[in-house]
Chains A and B, each alone.
Chain A
């Protein structure tokens, strides 16, 4: 009895010992993640959906696009927690924006490119080039020199660069324009269908138009540094080779869905916050000559009583709360059109393109143009009105500003005759001003364009904490000083002080 027990016990222990020491072969299987696909299993279309959503949402994000864009360019103003409107951006926002563009949308786009390149799928490859260009253009335009040639290589099997060097903005622009040209060439030659495209509903022709329109934006943005004539003329003169936006139907705009988390970020913000009002600068521009008015204001702003009143930028929290007795109720909220769940997130519009072309012709960047600057200018205003057509019609009639019989052309005609008739002597000023008005709700691009044009004349925010100036740059993120200090210091040494007033390379104008 006793011996048997001892024997059994010893046998059990022996088995156990063997199990403990020998049985690590199954560890690899045990430690293989069953919850997520490997990168090899990920299809480009699945990554594409998220990349477009992530990129567009970040551009439209409240703290970035709305507050470091729309507020700084005085489309919007803050009525509560006004520090961002006083040019004190939050470092966490800067960190998050940078990280999101590089590591979230940017790296997803790079992964699409890598897969498409390996599988010889030129459609996805072209889309990845266009999207990467968009992301990197926002990065370089906000910060100046940023990582590009060494970027997105953290898990590269041969290079594995964790601390990428910063490229000059000048060289990045060359690379971005080449990306767009390559994308146009690839798309001209391929018809491989795509899926998962929530921006253009898998229409490759529209992607091609977007690529070339974006080229025009970038060419114009660096036009004070690099003469754009040849490149712009090449695009404008050969629509078959370089198709561009032809109407609002071609707009690069993400149609957000009705419910969270796919709703418009402003809609999501307004569910719990009420911190923003339309800027007095914009309302005064569109409403001063009442009853003559810019009818887009009925889309941009909700009325206060029967009229419109904007909020000055950069008031202190208490001054804003007490503005005109009650800042919250006495100034216009952003129009319902833009706070709706499905309000589109616009990356580039037909109207913007027309103003780019108007400027190009006016400044002589197009040789042999069939259309005049005035043609493009008029098309830009009409395009902008048409972008908001149904809302302009409905609200103007409801508010008693216009007759029921008017069609959109009547509104444009009324506005042009009272406000904006093309004046060759003042053409550039008009083009820039109209572009500023048309780019409402596109805070990021609006403030970038204003930095270049300095039109209209903006008075810096009342309580501005930036030495009496409107910011023309963002600080580098603190995450970079922690993780990539050597390269960051080199970029700052090359570019100038890391503050809100150091101009990026393409910005040669005198801001005030």
Chain B
């Protein structure tokens, strides 16, 4: 007790009164009356007080109770609350019976308001913190993979600190953000993509990755507009509501410790050939690596046969007195790619301290995460300090506050994409005979010149990794403070203010001598973000008569957001090795940007309940946004939902049908846009850096619009929640249909107008689909329990219309392929060139080679359906689980195949190396018709003609996959009264363990090229990480 008061005083809570009174000690165990298993986490409270505790892992509790205590109230989710009269005994064995009629699960909804799940008229799904804490993901978004129906998660790569994208119920915005809003303890948290300086290709992560898994109590996913209408426009793509851990009522001062250590290796690497080395037409001889020998400037592997006893001068060969390389054995190095990877190590340790008295509670937590990336010479660090406290200094008045400081940083993150700084890109373009271990050992020759296999296109890859560092430093503070007052048992109110404030610094270096930046380069960028939300709610709750319950809430919110960025670039370095903008050999380029935005909102919402079984929810919200024209900046949107628990209404009591609920809802969400979208300005160009710098002003190509209107998202949803056989089977089905109209979008216009795009309200995208969550408990005995959870989601996305006269909207392009939105199709059409074909669809060959045909729809990045299956087993003190998830349908354009085949690096290019290839198809018969192709082409010519950006068709694959996402195997030790240490759990954990099925060669089909709206593209993928390790946790 003393410790608690000291700590609370330390935390600044004054006026705390700790009661010391005559007490006696009780202990006991809580078990299930159904199967006798112990119930951990059950609440045991002295009736009429706030004194209490929760049961431990074994269902046991000890409690000091006042001498005059009469009885204990024992409760647990899904069980009937039991009142246990106190006798003279000091020990109690308490059996709870399952609740058969209804399930009083509670979930956190908008504004952090907890509601009984049965009263909700829309679909939500929650994930407990425990489920994701043991097998940790550095990026919490990845933890949701396979667990939430309807959520599509795409992680960018296995690079340290990489981003992950989450889209719920499909893409609904043409060009805006399609990811859900993240809300932590009631305050929105920015999930921006962190970019860096202008030219770099480095993935700096996404904002939600700063959320620490160790501090998460629950994650609730509000999927559609129906559940998220109250968060406003940013919530139209759903909301991820995160509630952080707090001390439980009656929890004694507890120290929790856990450590997770995992080891990462590449899940999948491309299959390279080892039969032929560098060169063209079977010829190679190294002289200077820049074209001075025979094909020694090329970075392709169409050279002489390897391991055939040939002696050929190479970059690594001994040299004669004149420095001329001498012939040396021409042999393969099949494992050369492994030199780019180390075994990654991720070590995360969390220590937290929590406790509560009858009036106050607190929790502080510190987490240290250290990661040595599996890509050599990369690392990532994250430190999180979190606290959470509340106190009720006088009756009815509660203060609470929580805060979080995060440092996320890296001394070096790897480059990605089609960028020379991506070592996987270079590897595809590397002579297959190259011995990377030599390059890793040494980067410079004795004379200081660079030691490398090629001096025409490529850096020594280990100079890229060691010298061209991409540094990240992000400091972030989030938190909120709230005061709540309970005026009467019917009326309460709170005011809360909270913020998300961070600075994100990133820099990017190129050494002097880099192939792309021969004179070196340094760029840095600092992004500052501040969002403050202040809100209040007045809540009224009243029973009317015996059967009706009525709630009404009135609230308001003000959001202020200010962002600022400062960028400095030294295009060339004066002093090699010094990375400072001031060290620029030429005029450095600098820029800064400032933006501010404010949204004021007022809202009312509430519920009308009948017999605690039929519920009507209503809400209406009005926003005023600074980003819209003054005469159009106010907009409102309503929502309604209805749910009925049939088993309660019809008084069904059955061993078969335990629970049945139907629900329906309708909602609208309005939306605004980015700051400064209304009035035209002139932009600063790069500058003409003559001796007198001339200012470069340019009229931007985007035509702003002073007549913008708010955009609208409208959706309906129907669902059913049915539980059978005493809750052994739990089925939740949802159908939804939502349309996004009047989107604020930059549509392309004819460049002849002087602009290439104009901001307008246009377009409609529909998403309809079905989500199924099925939980089954096939076996449940005293010692053994098996739970299976299936989830399935099928979303049908359709771009209904774009703007008047606009037939295509290009989301992005990659080589000759465009990713499009087109009316009638789903978002994300892969639009590129096919082979030239005859009218029977045969490929036409000329001189044995195919050529470019028509531009057409080659596939779509959108999947058909997503699913997951989680199996959980507990046997006595053992627990085990595995999670499998799948994505079916959708396409991916893999440039690893394109350029890997063009360059002769991939295994498939071994075909026809000696005898040539006869392409399957037709050739001209000389009379205007076609006959079967019989012309033999060399493997080199055939692959180069078939696999280029000119024919995208050849590298489009079905992106379906099935993955073994996670395995956990744990053992919880029995608590001993002699030891202070409790609840010791040891687990083996693994994530992203195996691709069980895929049709895409060489790469992990799951990972994405970007975190943005342009999906379905891949190149030079930094492989995703297979992570295996162990986790230990305990309490004191």
Contacts and interface: CB of A to CB of B under 8 A. Distances in A.
Interface of A: 1, 5-6, 9, 12-13, 16-17, 19-21, 23-24, 27-28, 30-39, 41-43, 46-47, 49-51, 53-54, 81, 83, 88, 90-92, 98-99, 101-104, 106-108, 110-111, 146-147, 150-155, 161-164, 196, 198, 257-262, 271-272, 274, 316-319, 321-322, 325-326, 328-329, 465, 477-485, 487
A227 B754 CA distance: 33
B689 interface: yes
Interface stretch (B232-240, B937-945, B1003-1011): B937-945
A53 B699 contact: no
A12 B495 contact: yes
B697 A46 contact: yes
Given A30-B598, A53-B696, A198-B694, A329 B682 contact: no
Interface stretch (B102-110, B802-810, B959-967): B802-810
Interface in B953-997: none
B634 to A, nearest CB: 8
Contact of A485 (B572, B682, B805): B805
A91 B292 CA distance: 35
Interface string B509-551: 0000001101100000000000000101010000000000000
Contacts of A28: 630
A164 B461 CA distance: 51
Interface stretch (B221-229, B399-407, B605-613, B848-856): B848-856
Interface in B556-577: 556-558, 571-572
B749 A154 contact: yes
B296 to A, nearest CB: 9
A152 B753 contact: yes
A480 B690 CA distance: 37
A106 B754 contact: yes
B600 A98 contact: no
B692 to A, nearest CB: 10
Contacts of A12: 495, 536
B936 to A, nearest CB: 13
A483 B748 contact: yes
Interface stretch (B31-39, B371-379, B380-388, B672-680): B672-680
Contact of B806 (A20, A23, A47, A483): A483
B679 A103 contact: no
Interface of B: 280-281, 283, 291-292, 294-295, 297-298, 300, 302, 394, 397, 420, 456-457, 485, 487, 493, 495, 515-516, 518-519, 534, 536, 538, 556-558, 571-572, 585-586, 592-598, 600-602, 624-627, 630, 633-634, 675-676, 678-686, 688-690, 694-699, 701, 703, 748-756, 758, 805-808, 813, 816, 849, 851-852, 855, 902, 938, 940-941, 944-945, 948, 950
Contact of A42 (B596, B679, B697): B697
B750 A484 contact: yes
B324 to A, nearest CB: 17
Contacts of A477: 751
A256 B579 CA distance: 27
A31 B675 contact: yes
Given A20-B556, A50-B698, A107 B754 contact: yes
Contact of A32 (B585, B679, B752): B679
A242 B280 CA distance: 58
B807 A465 contact: no
B210 to A, nearest CB: 27
Contacts of B698: 47, 50-51, 54, 104, 108
A19 B602 CA distance: 11
Contacts of B558: 16, 19-20
A41 B538 CA distance: 49
B701 A103 contact: yes
A483 B682 contact: no
Contacts, number: 290
Given A20-B602, A103-B701, A147 B752 contact: yes
Contacts of B291: 274, 328-329
Kindly name the residue among B397, B625, B703 whose own CB sees the greatest number of chain A CB atoms within 10 A.
B703
A81 B948 contact: yes
Contacts of A101: 751
Which 5 pairs show the lowest CB-CB distances between chains A and B? A154-B753, A147-B752, A107-B754, A484-B750, A36-B681
Contacts of A13: 493, 495, 536, 538
B688 A53 contact: yes
A83 B627 CA distance: 47
Contact of B600 (A24, A103, A151, A153): A24
A448 B46 CA distance: 94
A88 B950 contact: yes
B283 A482 contact: no
Nearest to A47: B697
A138 to B, nearest CB: 14
B596 A162 contact: no
A262 B571 CA distance: 11
B753 A161 contact: yes
Given A162-B758, A316-B941, 17 more contacts: A12-B495, A12-B536, A13-B538, A20-B556, A32-B679, A33-B681, A92-B816, A98-B751, A103-B756, A107-B754, A150-B752, A151-B752, A152-B753, A321-B281, A326-B294, A479-B748, A479-B750
A137 to B, nearest CB: 15
A13 B596 CA distance: 25
Contacts of A155: 680, 703, 754-755
A83 B697 CA distance: 36
Contacts of B292: 329
A81 B571 CA distance: 29
A46 B695 contact: yes
Contacts of A34: 594
B799 to A, nearest CB: 14
B572 A39 contact: no
A33 B947 CA distance: 47
Contact of A41 (B678, B682, B753, B852): B682
Contact of B941 (A90, A153, A318): A318
Contacts of B938: 318
21 contacts: A16-B558, A20-B624, A24-B630, A35-B594, A36-B681, A38-B680, A49-B697, A83-B852, A83-B950, A102-B754, A151-B754, A154-B754, A155-B680, A155-B754, A198-B688, A259-B572, A271-B515, A321-B295, A479-B751, A479-B756, A484-B805
A260 B902 CA distance: 31
Nearest to B686: A261
B498 to A, nearest CB: 15
Contacts of B298: 321, 328
A37 B754 contact: no
A31 B280 contact: no
